[in-house]
């Protein structure tokens, strides 16, 4: 059996509401199956696309664990707008204390709903105009603020993707906003099932709430500040609590799994969480 090739293309897409986006696409060269290709949409695409394209080319070979599919990565042609796109709008931005004194800058006003509309109403139709994709096998992957947006998308538009992969989502943001949204989602879903079997993967690095061994070699004041910063964000505990919320209040047709990756930090864990997402979404049955 001949090995599949995966050409890469790059497109610029203009949204009248959200602005310009750089879109990177890795697609199989072969004809699609009758139902179309499975597809995964990646946020912070410039960082994650090279990894995902390599995984597709490596693990979707004959006798490997993944089926061929399409990778679509979204980023920006110029300055990033991820704070605006990935964070929901809130009437009041609650400042986060800075352990060094004062508060961190609040950043841009969130517009996650507008960005979601871009994904659903502009980007997906654009991809479908070029490629035959299976709208029953679509996934969304995001890390950090991208993970926050992934959770927001599940809790507000659960029917639009089959698999949601939230890597190190910013559960601390705006005084735990996303947990409150999760509680509303669970309350709405208590008496009904989701329209399709849906999966949420929650991933976080072991050291996102503590210091790595090499970090302890820094000056004592730097260690103290960094440890306090990570403790107040509670990335690991916050994700455990979010997973526990779904364990205590299961939602019909929603499978939730938590992965705490050993020896990983906020910067390194996408290498693990993205591979796990790709191997799950494109798995051979």
CB 143 within 8 A of CB 168: yes
Confidence band, pLDDT 50/70/90 cuts, at residue 195: confident
- For 203-217, what is each residue's pLDDT tens digit? 999 999 999 999 999
Residue 280: enclosing H or E segment and its boundaries? helix 270-281
- For 70-108, what is each residue's pLDDT tens digit? 999 999 999 999 999 999 999 999 999 999 999 999 889
Give the number of residues written for the chain.
Answer: 285
- What the chain holds in terms of domains, given with CATH numbers, is 8-281 (3.40.50.1820)
pLDDT at 133 (0 to 100): 98
How are beta strands 70-75 and 19-26 bridged, if at all? antiparallel
- For 113-160, what is each residue's pLDDT tens digit? 999 999 999 999 999 999 999 999 999 999 999 999 999 999 999 999
* Distance between CA atoms of residues 67 and 56, nearest Å: 8
In 3D space, the residue among 216, 214, 199 whose CA is nearest the CA of residue 279 turns out to be 199
* Distance between CA atoms of residues 269 and 51, nearest Å: 12
Inter-CA distances, 245 with 9, 179, 184, 219, Å: 41, 9, 12, 38
- For 213-259, what is each residue's pLDDT tens digit? 999 999 999 999 999 999 999 999 999 999 999 999 999 999 999 99
Region 35-59: mean pLDDT is 97
**Taking the C-alpha atoms of 172, 76, 81 and 134 in order, what is their torsion angle to the nearest 10 degrees?**
-60
pLDDT at 1 (0 to 100): 42
- pTM attached to this predicted model: 0.96
CB 87 within 8 A of CB 113: no
């Amino acid at each position: 059996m001949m090995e599949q090739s995966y050409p890469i293309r790059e497109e610029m897409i203009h949204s009248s509401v959200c602005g310009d986006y750089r879109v990177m696409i890795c697609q199989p060269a072969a004809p699609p199956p009758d139902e179309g290709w499975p597809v995964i949409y990646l946020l912070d695409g410039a960082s994650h696309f090279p990894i995902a394209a390599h995984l597709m080319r490596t693990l979707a070979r004959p006798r490997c664990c993944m089926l061929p599919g399409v990778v679509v990565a979204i980023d920006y042609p110029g300055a990033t707008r991820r704070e605006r796109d990935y964070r929901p709008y809130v009437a009041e931005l609650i400042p986060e204390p800075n352990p060094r004194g004062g508060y961190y800058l609040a950043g841009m006003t969130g517009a996650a709903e507008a960005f979601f509309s871009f994904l659903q109403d502009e980007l997906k139709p654009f991809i479908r105009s070029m490629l035959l994709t299976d709208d029953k096998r679509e996934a969304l992957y995001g890390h950090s603020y991208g993970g926050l947006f992934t959770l927001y998308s599940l809790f507000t538009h659960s029917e639009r993707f089959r698999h949601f992969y939230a890597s190190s989502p910013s559960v601390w943001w705006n005084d735990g906003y996303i947990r409150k949204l999760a509680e509303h989602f669970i309350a709405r879903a208590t008496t009904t099932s989701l329209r399709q079997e849906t999966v949420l993967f929650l991933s976080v690095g072991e050291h996102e709430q503590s210091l790595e061994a090499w970090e302890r070699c820094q000056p004592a004041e730097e260690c103290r500040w960094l440890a306090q910063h990570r403790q107040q964000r509670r990335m690991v505990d916050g994700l455990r609590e979010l997973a526990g919320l779904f364990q205590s209040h299961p939602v019909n047709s929603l499978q939730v799994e938590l992965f705490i990756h050993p020896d990983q930090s906020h910067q390194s864990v996408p290498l693990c969480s993205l591979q796990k997402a790709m191997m799950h979404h494109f798995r051979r049955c």
